[in-house]
Structure 1
Amino acid sequence: MSEITDQIWLGSYKDAANERFLGERKITHILCCADELPLMVGFPYSSTLEGQKLTDIKEAAELLDIWASDGKKVMVYCSDGLGRSVSAVIEYLITYKQWSYMLAYDHLKLRRNI
């Protein structure tokens, strides 16, 4: 699991299932970005970025903003924590934090081996 901001963590399904690790980091909300995985407290979205699925990424980013703005600590995950969850976090950083794509991508790359 990788800390992306003070309130957003990024990881895999295995990370999201690690209650001890979540508790130590005071994670309050979990966002699932993989419809093939069981949801903890989740938001399923498919790995394709066509049509309606693009809206799902924007909805995931909006949910991240709502939770983060409310002071919640959020774990965002997908199967390996390298694709879909990364896309949702990048969308959040671009849309709600006004970061450029390259800044968001480079930041995630620095924080997590993507």
Structure 2
Amino acid sequence: MEPSLRSETRKKVAEDVGCEAGDEVRASQRDIDLELGIRPRPGWVIEERYDMRREMQSIVPNLFLGPYSCARDRPLLLTHGVTHLLCILDEREARIMRVVHPDLVYHFINVSDSFSENLIPHFPAAREFLQQALANSSHKVLVYCNNGMSRSPCFVIAYLMEILNWDFPTAYGYVQNRRFCISPNDNFKLQLKEYQPIHRARMAFMNQSSRPDDASSASNQDANGAHGMQRHGAKRRQYEEDDEYADHYGSAMNESSSRSTARGDIEMG
């Protein structure tokens, strides 16, 4: 995401929750496993209505979350200006829930709503699609699964953790305060919590690698070359270990795949 767009997103989020963009926003659902770090925070939840689960909600600027029924509703998509759809469906659902709007851009991620499913291997593909779409301020994205309560919220939560550097409880609480009915299974929530150190280690390594060397660092490298290389090697190994952990965590998903289409041009079996 471009810095200007990231800044705009941060500002809008801060305005929506009435706090600075790094402050905590806690979840209000009282029966969430407290060991995951989510605590109730009264007063932050939008008015709860049962029929809201059938609607789509704006989470951050140009990013919506909702159920499949909203993805089918062409007038609704036009009203909100939706141009891209991130579809979190398993193979059976994808065969039934075919693309119906050929002028929109779709990206399918093959994930089932089961306790044994692994989400972490699919987060990078979702992030890339969302970043490319939202880099254009005229684009708007709807992220959806069957009912918009379990799988698709997890991908939105992971995205906010990445672009805003929020921890899991903060991102979870913020998304739930926008769409109160989200209810990922305990395995999905645990994966989101475990994804936090993975993506932060990746970002730390990327920031370290992209930092330009100045004259003083170059001279220090000659004086302390062995020590500097040892420290850099340790950081690199830590990053690689985190990536290896993510790969290992998703090893059961080797048969899963992400399918992408542009302008609805997709062939589904």
TM-score w.r.t. length of structure 2: 0.39
**SS of match in other structure, 2:127:** helix
User: Are residues 1:62 and 2:117 paired?
Assistant: no
Task: Give RMSD over aligned pairs.
Answer: 1.5
1:12-59: CA deviation from partner (whole Å, max 9, x where unpaired) = 11011111111001001011011223353231221311xxx5221221
Show the 5 A alignment for 1:13-32.
13-32=68-87
- Pick from 45, 62, 67: which aligns with 2:110? 45
Letter in 1 for 2:125: E
Rate the CA distance shift 1:108–1:75 in 2: closer, same or farther, 3 A: same
Q: Which has the higher helix share?
A: 2
Number of aligned residue pairs: 111
Whole-Å separation in 2 of the counterparts to 1:55 and 1:62: 13
Whole-Å separation in 2 of the counterparts to 1:62 and 1:34: 18
TM-score w.r.t. length of structure 1: 0.88
Question: Which residue in the other structure is 2:161 paired with?
Answer: 94
Rate the CA distance shift 1:58–1:39 in 2: closer, same or farther, 3 A: farther
Q: Any unmatched runs of 5+ in structure 2?
A: 1-55, 100-105, 183-269
Q: Any unmatched runs of 5+ in structure 1?
A: none
CA contact (8 A) 1:12 1:79 kept: yes
CA contact (8 A) 2:67 2:145 kept: yes
Question: Which residue in the other structure is 2:63 paired with?
Answer: 8
Whole-Å separation in 2 of the counterparts to 1:68 and 1:2: 17
- Pick from 31, 34, 46: which aligns with 2:89? 34
Rate the CA distance shift 1:63–1:39 in 2: closer, same or farther, 3 A: farther
**SS of match in other structure, 1:82:** coil
Question: Which residue in the other structure is 1:106 paired with?
Answer: 173
CA contact (8 A) 1:12 1:80 kept: yes
Whole-Å separation in 2 of the counterparts to 1:68 and 1:98: 17
Per chain length, whose mean CA-contact separation is higher, i.e. which structure has more relative contact order (CA < 8 Å, sep 6+)?
Answer: 1
